[in-house]
Amino acid sequence: MGAFQGGLTYRQYRVKERLPQHWQARVQQGLAAHAAKPIDPDGDEERAVGWCSAQFILDTHVTLESCLYDPYLVMAMRLETLTVPPGLLKMHCEAEERKVKRELKKEALSRYERAEIRERVEAALRKRLLPSLRSFEVVWNTESGVVRFLSTNKGLNEELMELFEESFGVVLIPDYAYTIAQEPALGLSDEQLAALDAVEPTPFIDSETLYESMKG
């Protein structure tokens, strides 16, 4: 499944503004500045997104030349997560609590002691875990301004919109019935667009049929 082969599932966007004249330099700069970076296991970040190659997830040196399929740009948004699984954390916390209780010769630990143990154990486990990596292709037609993101996950789409704006300084407008209707290429008249702003849902069934159907 993806831009290069197989079936395609994606969310479609349109770049709101026209690209500036020297957009190539801006895109190159944005790709470099927002390239995917590994999460620091010593920190507390659990999730990070950035650009990587559409062909190889570990290649984060994305150049304009490497992703240009004129007039398309093809790159990927990489999602890296480093989270200690809750079950694993619970087991190691319990082991540590037992050890501390033995050392302090205490029957029970206070809430603060347990919180401190949890923090320490989580930090230690993070250093032993490998992050999870996934990437999602982005295909940008720089002539038409259409961007296709090969994921329909709501959260990921929100992260893409944010990353896109931060990287390239342009806003993405997602496809909805309203935004499609507003596209100049669709060619609706001013009168039709005015009617669109006032349109209300209409039932595709008359009240008599609905009443009969509900009676069974």
Partner 1 sequence: MDFVERVTRTQFLGAEFLTWLWYQEEMGAGAFELGGDLGAVELSFEDKLTMGSTALDEQQDSFKGGRPTASPEARAALALGKQAQSASLRLTQGEQEWRFTLKAEPLMVSAVRLPEVLADDPKAQFHERMLLLETLDRLYRALFKLFLEERLSAEWTTEHLPAVQAWAARRGPQG
Interacting residues with partner 1 (CB under 8 A): 3-5, 7-12, 69, 72, 74, 139, 141, 144, 146, 148, 152, 174-181, 183, 185-188, 192, 195-197, 199, 201-206, 209-210, 212-214
Q: Is 18 helix (H, G, I), strand (E, B) or coil?
A: coil
HSE, side-chain direction, 13 A CA sphere, residue 134: 9
CB of 139 to partner 1, least distance (A): 7
From CA 211, how far away is CA 216, in angstroms rounded? Answer: 9
Q: Which is nearer to partner 1, 116 or 178 (CB)?
A: 178
Please give the angle made by the CA atoms of 126, 136 and 72, to the nearest 5 degrees.
Answer: 145
Q: Which is nearer to partner 1, 130 or 214 (CB)?
A: 214
Q: Which is nearer to partner 1, 129 or 195 (CB)?
A: 195
Q: Which is nearer to partner 1, 1 or 115 (CB)?
A: 1
CB of 149 to partner 1, least distance (A): 11
CB of 62 to partner 1, least distance (A): 17
From 36, 34, 32, 33, select the one nearest 65 (Cα to Cα): 32
CB of 177 to partner 1, least distance (A): 4
Give DSSP secondary structure letters for 106-138: -SS--HHHHHHHHHHHHHHHHHHSPPEEEEEEE
Give DSSP secondary structure letters for 150-177: S---HHHHHHHHHHHHHHHS--EEE--H
Q: Which is nearer to partner 1, 115 or 186 (CB)?
A: 186
CB of 122 to partner 1, least distance (A): 38
Q: Which is nearer to partner 1, 82 or 157 (CB)?
A: 157
CB of 32 to partner 1, least distance (A): 24
Which tokens sit at 162?
A: 């944010």
Instruction: For 31-52, give the secondary structure using H, E and C.
Output: HHHCECCCCCCCCCCCEEEEEE
